[in-house]
Chain A
Amino acid sequence: MSASSLEVEGLRTEFVLRDRVLRVVDDVSFTVKPGRALAIVGESGSGKSVTMRSVMRLLPKTGRVAGGRARLGGTDLLGLSERQMRKVRGRDIGMVFQNAMEALNPTLTLERQLTEHLLWHGVCDRAEAKRRAIQTLGDVGIPEPEQRIRTYPFQLSGGMRQRAMIATAMVTQPSVLIADEPTTAVDVTVQRQLLDLLAQLKARGTGVIMITHDLGVARYFCDDAIVMYAGRVVERGPIRQLLERPAHPYTAGLFSSTLEVGARHRPLQPVPGAPPDLAHRPPGCAFHPRCGQAEQRCGQEEQPLLPWSEDGQREVACWKAVQHV
């Protein structure tokens, strides 16, 4: 399958604890079109990864999707049987993890890990699968792929491992690729190479979702972004506009807490405080206890995601920002 959009609408995910239910993802919507890249930005604990695990239906036992839709090329993934969903995972949607050392099985060869899902999905036979795996390893820039395919993950350097991880997701040519902090665990030079690799993929029509807290990476690679805070989308829009003129104080805070080469004039200002414990979600805007611009109203009323620009591409969930339009 190729060239299908992933459309997520009103996704709600809950974790059922012993005595209560925590809403970890609350009314999250986004669309990834073929050949476009979406950044999901936020601090750890904001619900980025859980959102993607909900779409993949790989939540831990205590988690459940409580509402919403996740359509891929017209089919709602959340309504599929487990058997049908299995055919989507790894074939239509590929996943790249943060740390290849942990996400690749240490005792299986690359060949096994690059070909097994081709065989599970019945894409081709073993010989053809191996051929494709070697081809993909070469594509991601691993030298001597014919020899390297016989090695184990620990025999590769960190950068090579991450490439192999991406190759694992690419080998089935999925229409959507979910990359969960794919460059966080590698050094900067490798980071750039990996991003260029993902960019090639994007150019070939794959829709990419990149979960990240690194705005530099997001700006370099992504077209659109959603910013998540405490399980909700607080701002959305094209990434360049979002970074040039952030509308939500949280987005602005994330931006000014990021170090960037060549931006010496900009003082580093971390967002004060820590993200809220979802069991004790502050009333009103969840960000207001940490927000420098909070008014009385912010602590009382919840604010929905409202259009912020005239073309309707940008939306923000902040009373103060909307007042400024």
Chain B
Amino acid sequence: MSFMTYLGKRVVRMVLSLIAVSAITFTLLQMAPGNFADIQRISAGAAQFGGAGTEDMVHAFASRYGDDIPAWRQYLIFMKGAATWDFGPSYKYPTQDVQDIIAQGFPISATIALIAVALSLMIAIPIGVYAAVRQNSAADHGTMFLITLGTALPNYLTGVILVLFFTLTLGVLPSSGWDGPQHMIMPVLALVLGPTAVLARYVRSSMLETLREEYVVAALAKGGPRATVITRHALGNSLIPIVTVLGPLLAALMTGTVFVEALFRIPGLGLYFAQAAASRDMPLLMGTALFFALILMTMNLIVDLVYGYLDPRIRAAGGVNRWRRSQKNPQQQPA
């Protein structure tokens, strides 16, 4: 199986999954009580719609947005649009198309997420390796205690502490908005702690497992300096399981973090997603849900490709064709 066939199969599977996700999301939303008009009526009062009878208003609203036709037709209309990346206008922001909202919000959320995860990795890998190499020492217990603390601290709380310190006490960073790198620092820092804690734990346990492998002893027996053996022989192999965690983690952060975006008033995707859910803004909700699924699947695909890059056994079994030679070898064992 060549690489392109492999990739093709994966993409087909992704499309089928997306259709399934859309159908399930749509059905669940239809089954849930209440709709956009109801919620608007309750939260804003009927006056906004001219003060007429509320029932009439809801009907007017429904016909305006097509909510009066059968659900299955609504779904088909939506999917026809979705196929061409056109989700139609949002209920709540009628002047904007959903795909435009995504196009505006996603780069912002993704930038913060990528920087935060990269930073997390840079902190978590050395910490995890250090703790593993000094297993059961005071240093190990100490770092792991701090890490547990990090996991327990929610990011909005970290965010508040950061604002208190950098904005109110030092006055060096703006507390809200999105205009240049100085606006990125605090959101990124607020987001870094959680993933760092999770990743450091994974790195530590994975590293501990690898350090017990016989090839590590064998490398030492060949006269390898300890640091070299740890970085070249142990680290590479212990990072393979980390990649698995990384995919969903990146996907979750890239599609927006509600609390942090709300706290720092960042026009990211998370904020829109939360508002869409609260106000039952169907197009926006369906659009963002599908987009989230798409990002998650893409991340998982990337993870699998990175796997192949890191582990030649997976490369051979998964069918990246550079290793065709080994496939022909009847003695080769599957990974």
Chain A positions within 8 Å of B, measured between CB atoms, are: 56, 58, 86-91, 95, 97, 99, 102-108, 116-117, 120-121, 151-152, 154-157, 160, 168
The contact sample of 10 A-B pairs, CB cut-off 8 A, is A56-B221, A89-B223, A97-B217, A103-B214, A103-B215, A107-B310, A107-B312, A108-B232, A120-B223, A160-B331
Q: B335 to chain A: which residues have CB within 8 Å?
A: 154
Checking B215, B223, B333 against A117 with a beta-carbon cut-off of 8 angstroms, the contacting residue is: B223
Q: A97 to chain B: which residues have CB within 8 Å?
A: 214, 217-218
Q: B236 to chain A: which residues have CB within 8 Å?
A: 107
What's the least CB distance linking B132 to chain A, in Å? Answer: 13
Checking B218, B225, B228, B332 against A104 with a beta-carbon cut-off of 8 angstroms, the contacting residue is: B218
B329 within 8 A of A: yes
Given contacts A154-B312, A155-B326, A155-B329, contact A105 B233 (CB under 8 A): yes
In the assembled complex, the Cα of A120 lies from the Cα of B233 at a distance in Å of 14
Q: A106 to chain B: which residues have CB within 8 Å?
A: 215, 237, 311-313
Known: A116-B224, A117-B223, A151-B326. 6 other contacts (CB 8 A): A89-B223, A95-B222, A120-B224, A154-B312, A155-B332, A160-B331
In the assembled complex, the Cα of A105 lies from the Cα of B231 at a distance in Å of 13
B209 within 8 A of A: no
In the assembled complex, the Cα of A88 lies from the Cα of B329 at a distance in Å of 37
Given contacts A86-B225, A116-B222, A120-B225, contact A156 B331 (CB under 8 A): yes
Given contacts A58-B217, A97-B214, A107-B237, contact A120 B313 (CB under 8 A): no
Q: A120 to chain B: which residues have CB within 8 Å?
A: 222-225, 228
Most buried by B among A90, A107, A121: A107
Checking B219, B224, B237, B333 against A154 with a beta-carbon cut-off of 8 angstroms, the contacting residue is: B333
Q: A88 to chain B: which residues have CB within 8 Å?
A: 223
In the assembled complex, the Cα of A87 lies from the Cα of B326 at a distance in Å of 35
CB within 8 Å of A: which of B199-233? Answer: 213-215, 217-225, 228, 232-233
Q: B221 to chain A: which residues have CB within 8 Å?
A: 56, 58, 89-90, 95
What's the least CB distance linking B23 to chain A, in Å? Answer: 41
Checking B220, B316, B326 against A58 with a beta-carbon cut-off of 8 angstroms, the contacting residue is: B220
Most buried by A among B217, B218, B222, B224: B222
In the assembled complex, the Cα of A104 lies from the Cα of B214 at a distance in Å of 8
Count residues of B near A (Cβ-Cβ below 8 Å): 29
Q: What's the A-B contact tally at a CB cutoff of 8 Å?
A: 86
Q: B316 to chain A: which residues have CB within 8 Å?
A: 152, 154-155
In the assembled complex, the Cα of A32 lies from the Cα of B86 at a distance in Å of 80
A interface footprint on B298-326 (CB within 8 Å = 1, 0 otherwise): 00000000000011110010000000001
**CB distance A154 to B332 under 8 Å?**
yes
Q: B326 to chain A: which residues have CB within 8 Å?
A: 151-152, 155
Checking A105, A152, A160 against B219 with a beta-carbon cut-off of 8 angstroms, the contacting residue is: A105
Given contacts A102-B214, A152-B312, A155-B316, contact A108 B233 (CB under 8 A): yes
Q: A87 to chain B: which residues have CB within 8 Å?
A: 223
**CB distance A107 to B311 under 8 Å?**
yes
**CB distance B213 to A102 under 8 Å?**
yes
Q: B221 — nearest CB in chain A belongs to which residue?
A: A95
Q: B310 to chain A: which residues have CB within 8 Å?
A: 107
Closest 5 CB pairs of A and B: A90-B223, A90-B222, A117-B222, A157-B331, A89-B223
What's the least CB distance linking B295 to chain A, in Å? Answer: 29
Most buried by A among B213, B225, B333: B333
A interface footprint on B276-298 (CB within 8 Å = 1, 0 otherwise): 00000000000000000000000
CB within 8 Å of A: which of B26-44? Answer: none
A interface footprint on B231-258 (CB within 8 Å = 1, 0 otherwise): 0110011001000000000000000000
In the assembled complex, the Cα of A72 lies from the Cα of B100 at a distance in Å of 75
**CB distance B237 to A105 under 8 Å?**
yes
Given contacts A105-B233, A106-B237, A116-B224, contact A152 B313 (CB under 8 A): yes
In the assembled complex, the Cα of A146 lies from the Cα of B168 at a distance in Å of 66
Most buried by B among A89, A97, A99, A105: A105
Q: A90 to chain B: which residues have CB within 8 Å?
A: 221-224
In the assembled complex, the Cα of A56 lies from the Cα of B218 at a distance in Å of 11
Q: A99 to chain B: which residues have CB within 8 Å?
A: 214
Q: A152 to chain B: which residues have CB within 8 Å?
A: 312-313, 316, 326
Q: A89 to chain B: which residues have CB within 8 Å?
A: 220-223
What's the least CB distance linking B316 to chain A, in Å? Answer: 7
In the assembled complex, the Cα of A254 lies from the Cα of B225 at a distance in Å of 40
